């Protein structure tokens, strides 16, 4: 009997842990179809949260199992881990999810060792997977040839994606989808004999929707194709819209939304398919969008270190009002901000470091409804000191000396979050046209309403805590005061007892820790009188305590709101 070396056995046990994680991930994901068919929206929310928590849970279980199987002197001998890595590479070479298994290995290593032990000899800092490796093809897409019959090909697509629940009005849906397709594409494309449609073989599920994702293409051009499907309670399936605009499709896969559930036998191939229809998306964001957020984090880190290696970019403080809790820096040529917690907060902020960390982690697990930026949490980032603007580094060392430290020619950032960089809303409206200001404030109010309907209260709703994306959407990104809406006590300001009460420096009424007075919002949110009046016209109900209480009642009754990531005018279900 041939005995397996400890290196090979450690590698094997790591991969067994990965297989266990992948199977549980698959089981949660495959249940999405039944939840959609049965309109089990609260179950869908719970499944989404469970799948997010699954990764850390299974990493912890695998690390615990390794510690129980191997002596500490064997397992924690970092000198043997280059051999463990080599053995692991041999094991994952035949796999179709090998890039994910590298990230899993990295997570196990970081669970066992301090970050001082990280190197490309012991971990997969750089992937060993060839970028364009020819893998065995699997039938992941379905192709259709309209041959001039758009109605017929759309009918075939919807019939190929039949559910246990029938379509509510298939003929009506088909007429509308055909009209939308003809309206969105040039006339010559619809008549091109070489026109083809390719659709991924599995639907993508998120919240209360299912999405058919593909592309429409000719010999020379292509357009993305997304058909959102809905299941109104007590009715049949509805094909809600047909979308071919790349910007609209990009928003559907936005960093501000919950992760899709989709069965992907070969993740890299599906990501390649998405990349073809959304070339502006980085693969890190695409992996994250389908639930592989840890691998998205790996790809983000690789893109970051590559950017630093090949450019002269230096970290600077991010534009905007300095935060009272967080300090934010950025790279001008890299579309990301880096957020660290200050050592001392403004006296007006009644939060602790632990509370801030808890709030930011909460955002990962809730439905962000397209209105909160996703974050990635990092520990022990190391950057060359030369990559920091001196003023930026000096400020970081001043406000967060426990987090940022200079070690020779290296800057150690012990803990930070990364977020997509956006234009702060207060800066945006200062330089925007009158029409742009109106559109931004309308979307700002919608963002607050949609977050509230999803049981999220931003806390600090100042314009500086919201950003504007490249698509013009307003997104919340400052989470240190975030809480569940149902935890807030919305009140009206009591009538003054005496005329002198209104002139007093202190309120004449008691204020509890969770009390919020919406009547105070106008003067807190808008110093600009013109903007204050415009917002009152657009969203005046936000100043009414009863509006917020009504949302709380709906949430307590178990209602799951509809917030869809595409324009209203394209929707069938209003």
pLDDT (0 to 100) of residue 503: 67
Q: Mean of the pLDDT values across residues 290-306?
A: 96
| pLDDT, tens digit, 9 for 90 and up, residues 326-353 | 999 999 999 999 999 999 988 777 789 9
For the chain, what percent of residues have pLDDT higher than 90?
76
pLDDT (0 to 100) of residue 137: 47
Domain residue extents for the chain: 6-117, 141-306, 311-421, 425-543
Q: Average per-residue pLDDT in the chain?
A: 91
Residue 568: is its pLDDT beyond 50?
no
| pLDDT, tens digit, 9 for 90 and up, residues 445-474 | 999 999 998 899 998 899 999 999 988 899
Query: pLDDT grade, residue 130 (50/70/90)?
Result: confident
pLDDT (0 to 100) of residue 33: 98
Residue 364: is its pLDDT beyond 90?
no
Q: Mean of the pLDDT values across residues 402-418?
A: 96
pLDDT (0 to 100) of residue 434: 93
Annotated active-site residue 367? The verdict is no
pLDDT (0 to 100) of residue 88: 98
On whether the CB atoms of residues 11 and 94 are closer than 8 A, the answer is: no
Query: pLDDT grade, residue 135 (50/70/90)?
Result: very low
Query: Phi then psi for 376, rounded to 5 degrees?
Result: -125, 135
Terminal-residue alpha carbon distance, the chain: 68
Neighbouring CB atoms inside 10 A of 418's CB total 22
253-257, 371-375, 488-492: segment of lowest average pLDDT? 253-257
pLDDT (0 to 100) of residue 295: 97
Question: Which residue, 490, 558, 552, is CA-closest to 521?
Answer: 490
pLDDT (0 to 100) of residue 573: 54
- What string of DSSP letters covers 206-271? ETTEEEEEEEEE-SS-EEEEEEEEE--TTS-BEE---B--HHHHHHHT-TTSPPPB---SSHHHHH
Query: pLDDT grade, residue 3 (50/70/90)?
Result: low
For the chain, what percent of residues have pLDDT higher than 70?
95
pLDDT (0 to 100) of residue 567: 62
| DSSP code of residue 76 | T
Q: Alpha carbon of 149 to those of 188, 220, 352: distances in Å?
A: 14, 20, 62
pLDDT (0 to 100) of residue 136: 43
Which two three-digit tokens encode residue 469?
Answer: 């994306």
Residue 309: is its pLDDT beyond 80?
yes
Query: pLDDT grade, residue 304 (50/70/90)?
Result: very high
Question: CA-based Rg of the chain, rounded to a whole angstrom?
Answer: 26
CA dihedral 555, 560, 561, 563 (to 10 degrees): 140
Which two three-digit tokens encode residue 288?
Answer: 């994250």
Element (H, E) at 551: helix 545-556
Query: pLDDT grade, residue 552 (50/70/90)?
Result: very high
Catalytic residue from among 97, 240, 374, 443:
374
| pLDDT, tens digit, 9 for 90 and up, residues 83-92 | 999 999 999 9
170-184, 272-286, 289-303, 362-376: segment of lowest average pLDDT? 362-376
Query: pLDDT grade, residue 114 (50/70/90)?
Result: confident
Neighbouring CB atoms inside 10 A of 539's CB total 18
pLDDT (0 to 100) of residue 572: 55
The arrangement of secondary structure in 425-543, i.e. its CATH architecture, is Orthogonal Bundle (1.10)
Q: Mean of the pLDDT values across residues 182-192?
A: 88
Residue 280 makes CB contacts below 8 A (sequence gap 6+) with 246, 250
Whole-angstrom distance, CA of residue 127 vs CA of residue 134: 16
Q: Which residue pairs, CB below 8 angstroms and at least 24 apart, start in 233-237?
A: 233/39, 235/168, 236/165, 236/166, 236/167, 236/168, 236/169, 237/163, 237/165, 237/166, 237/167, 237/168
Q: Mean of the pLDDT values across residues 104-121?
A: 91
């Amino acid at each position: 009997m041939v005995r397996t070396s400890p290196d090979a056995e450690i590698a094997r046990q790591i991969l067994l842990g990965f297989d266990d994680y992948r199977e549980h991930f698959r089981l949660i994901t495959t249940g999405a179809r039944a939840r959609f068919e049965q309109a089990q929206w609260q179950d869908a929310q719970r499944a989404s949260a469970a799948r997010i928590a699954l990764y850390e849970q299974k990493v912890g279980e695998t690390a615990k199992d390794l510690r129980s199987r191997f002596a500490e002197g064997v397992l924690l001998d970092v000198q043997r881990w280059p051999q463990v890595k080599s053995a692991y590479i041999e094991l994952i070479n035949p796999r179709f999810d090998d890039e994910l298994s590298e990230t899993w290995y990295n997570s196990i290593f970081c669970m066992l060792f301090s970050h001082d032990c990280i190197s490309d000899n012991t971990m997969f800092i750089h992937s060993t997977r060839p970028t364009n490796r020819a893998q065995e093809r699997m039938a992941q897409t379905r192709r259709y040839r309209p041959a001039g019959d758009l109605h017929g090909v759309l009918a075939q697509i919807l019939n190929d994606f039949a559910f246990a629940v029938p379509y509510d009005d298939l003929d009506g849906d088909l007429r509308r989808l055909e009209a939308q397709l003809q309206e969105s594409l040039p006339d010559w494309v619809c008549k091109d004999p070489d026109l083809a449609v390719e659709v991924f073989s599995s639907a993508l599920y998120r919240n209360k929707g299912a999405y058919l994702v593909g592309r429409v293409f000719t010999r020379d051009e292509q357009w993305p194709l997304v058909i959102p499907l809905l299941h109104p309670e007590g009715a049949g399936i509805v094909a809600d819209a047909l979308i071919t605009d790349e910007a609209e499709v990009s928003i559907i896969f936005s960093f501000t939304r919950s992760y899709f559930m989709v069965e992907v036998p070969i993740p890299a191939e599906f990501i390649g398919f998405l990349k073809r229809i959304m070339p502006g998306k980085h693969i890190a964001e695409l992996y994250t969008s389908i639930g592989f957020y840890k691998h998205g984090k790996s790809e983000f880190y690789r893109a970051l270190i590559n950017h630093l290696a090949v450019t002269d970019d230096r970290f600077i403080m991010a534009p905007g009002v300095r935060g009272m809790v967080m300090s934010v820096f950025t790279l001008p040529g890299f579309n990301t901000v880096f957020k660290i917690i200050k050592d001392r907060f403004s006296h007006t902020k009644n939060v602790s470091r632990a509370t801030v960390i808890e709030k930011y982690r909460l955002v990962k697990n809730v439905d962000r409804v397209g209105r909160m930026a996703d974050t990635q949490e990092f520990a022990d980032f190391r950057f060359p000191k030369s990559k920091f603007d001196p003023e930026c580094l000096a400020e970081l060392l001043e406000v967060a000396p426990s987090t940022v430290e200079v070690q020779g020619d290296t800057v150690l950032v012990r803990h930070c979050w990364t977020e997509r960089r956006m234009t702060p809303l207060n800066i945006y409206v200062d330089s925007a046209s009158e029409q742009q200001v109106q559109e931004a404030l309308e979307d700002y109010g919608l963002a607050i309403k949609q977050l509230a309907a999803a049981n999220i209260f931003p806390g600090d709703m100042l314009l500086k805590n919201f950003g504007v994306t490249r698509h013009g959407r307003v997104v919340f990104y400052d989470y240190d005061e975030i809480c569940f809406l149902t935890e807030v006590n919305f009140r009206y300001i009591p009538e003054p007892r005496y005329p002198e009460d209104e002139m007093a420096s202190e309120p004449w009424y008691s204020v509890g820790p969770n009390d919020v007075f919406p009547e105070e919002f106008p003067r807190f949110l808008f110093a600009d009188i013109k903007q204050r009046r415009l917002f009152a016209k657009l969203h005046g109900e936000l100043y009414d305590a009863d509006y917020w209480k009504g949302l709380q009642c709906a949430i307590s009754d178990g209602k799951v709101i509809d917030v869809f990531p595409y324009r209203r005018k394209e929707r069938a279900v209003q």
